[in-house]
């Protein structure tokens, strides 16, 4: 076999052992650690097989039947199958809803929605990032426009009640009357309660605005019928497919079709979202779709319509509630006082711990989470909380009794961070230095990490067995 031919057929562990060693290390981290980042999950083998298939080789700009290149007859069938399953998974009538499955991920999907229906410098309202919203819902600070959403559109956030942590719908209604947004975003990145889509719809109607629901975090729960669906009240719905839905890293946009309203003259006003959104995705913001990801979405959606998936989602919520109750028993404050979904937001201010130090100590003992703002925080760069989620742990088979053990690990890690802080002082750089250099703490971290990893080994990962 010639060198050129060999290059095309070698396994990565033979052709690039340096890279493969890093992949193996990441596989070990996932296997031996506890993944509690609320936006992460472990995909099925079927999803991974689609992602590494020959579908990756094909360019397919345009929609099925309207491609700019030849050779797309089977790609068309795959995308049409994915569209069909997307509507079926969320129990949608194709006469009333359409769907675009080409967005590369959630952020591009959201930008496509704004591009389609909100003119440049048009007005949008989304939940503020420090209150649990997402960057793409319009986040900006007093000195800088952080997200492209706030760069290209005029953004006005709505807030949660600082005492309860719950969305202040009355204040949203008042602010919307003044701001007159073209579009209101009902969506979250770190908010542990179900959204009141009916109230959002009423506020949108009062201001002639589109209601755009970003269900990225909870789309698996919605598909399983575990929590209320945004589709009854929304004009547009977007989602990622890699969080609770447990698919590939990609995005979907659903849009209304048919009659939007009836005007004073009795004439029907029709939705015109289909062409606007499709054209915003391509050619407006993207080139050729990732056909391997579309196939992976399709197989994930098929899985989402099974009884086993519904059981999984029920366990995700049960585990999140067990996590919440366990942390509360340890004395930690949970924002909103509980959870309806897959995540909890822990306010660490009363415990005397910062979010950054909590994230660091938990990472050192092989528990992955992320620091997060809590209501009342002044800076997103120096947050006072951590966000914890249960989708990935539940995929690995953890039940309530296992979550109790996880709570114990978290509590012991956070208590250890307080011990370190007494030595290091308030600066994060000194905290990290003491963790690394103080032999007493090095040993304590090592011992706790070994306990966590020994526990985690009991729960298998889905996917390829060797990498």
CB 301 within 8 A of CB 247: yes
Catalytic residue from among 50, 82, 190, 324: 190
Give the C-alpha separation, 298 to 42, whole Å: 16
CB 254 within 8 A of CB 241: no
Instruction: Reply yes or no on whether 190 is catalytic.
Output: yes
| Element at 77 (helix H, strand E) | helix 73-89
Q: What values do phi and psi take at 98, rounded to 5?
A: -120, 170
Strand partners, 106: none
Strand partners, 268: 262
Catalytic residue from among 242, 290, 324, 369: 242
**Can you list the alpha helix ranges (DSSP code H) found in 269-306?**
273-279, 291-304
Omega of the bond leading into 283 within 30 degrees of 0 (cis)? yes
- Rounded to the nearest 10°, the torsion over CA 136, 360, 25, 392 is -60
Give the C-alpha separation, 299 to 296, whole Å: 5
CB 459 within 8 A of CB 398: yes
Instruction: Reply yes or no on whether 137 is catalytic.
Output: no
Count of beta carbons in the 10 Å neighbourhood of residue 441: 20
Catalytic residues: 190, 242
């Amino acid at each position: 076999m010639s060198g050129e031919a060999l290059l095309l057929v070698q396994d990565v562990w033979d052709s690039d052992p340096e890279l493969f060693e890093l992949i193996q290390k990441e596989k070990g981290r996932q296997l031996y650690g506890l993944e509690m980042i609320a936006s992460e999950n472990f995909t099925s083998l079927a999803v991974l097989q689609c992602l590494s298939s020959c579908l990756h080789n094909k360019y397919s700009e345009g929609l099925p039947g309207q491609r700019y290149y030849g050779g797309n007859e089977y790609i068309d069938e795959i995308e049409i199958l994915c569209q069909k399953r997307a509507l079926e998974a969320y129990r949608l009538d194709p006469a009333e809803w359409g769907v675009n499955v080409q967005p590369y991920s959630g952020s591009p999907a959201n930008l496509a929605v704004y591009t389609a229906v909100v003119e440049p410098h048009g007005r949008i309202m989304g939940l503020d990032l420090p209150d649990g919203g997402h960057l793409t819902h319009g986040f900006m600070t007093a000195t800088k426009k952080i997200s492209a959403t706030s760069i290209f559109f005029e953004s006005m956030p709505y807030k949660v009640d600082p005492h309860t942590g719950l969305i202040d719908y009355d204040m949203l209604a008042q602010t919307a009357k003044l701001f007159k947004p073209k579009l209101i975003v009902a969506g979250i990145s770190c908010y542990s309660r179900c959204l009141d889509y009916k109230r959002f719809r009423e506020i949108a109607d009062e201001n002639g605005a589109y209601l755009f629901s970003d269900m990225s975090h909870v789309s698996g729960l919605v598909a399983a019928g575990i929590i209320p669906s945004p589709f009854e009240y929304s004009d547009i719905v977007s989602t990622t497919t890699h969080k609770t839905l447990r698919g590939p890293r990609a995005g979907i946009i659903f849009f209304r079709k048919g009659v939007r309203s009836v005007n004073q003259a009795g004439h029907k006003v029709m939705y015109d979202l289909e062409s606007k959104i499709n054209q915003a995705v391509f050619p407006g913001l993207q080139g050729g779709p990732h056909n391997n990801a579309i196939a992976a979405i399709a197989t994930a959606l098929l899985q989402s319509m099974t009884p086993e998936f519904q059981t999984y989602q029920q366990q995700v919520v049960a585990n999140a509630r067990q996590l919440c109750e366990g942390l509360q028993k340890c004395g930690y404050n949970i924002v909103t006082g509980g959870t309806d979904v897959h995540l909890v937001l822990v306010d660490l201010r009363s415990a005397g711990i910062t979010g950054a130090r909590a994230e660091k100590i938990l990472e050192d003992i092989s528990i992955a989470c992320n620091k997060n703002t809590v209501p009342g925080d002044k800076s997103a760069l120096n947050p006072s909380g951590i966000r914890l989620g249960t989708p990935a742990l539940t995929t690995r088979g953890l039940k309530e009794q296992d979550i109790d053990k996880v709570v114990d690990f978290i509590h012991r890690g956070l208590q250890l961070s307080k011990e370190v802080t007494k030595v290091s002082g308030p600066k994060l750089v000194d905290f990290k230095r003491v963790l690394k250099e103080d032999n007493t703490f090095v040993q304590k971290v090592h011992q706790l990490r070994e306990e966590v990893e020994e526990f985690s080994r009991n729960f298998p990962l889905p996917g390829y067995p060797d990498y």
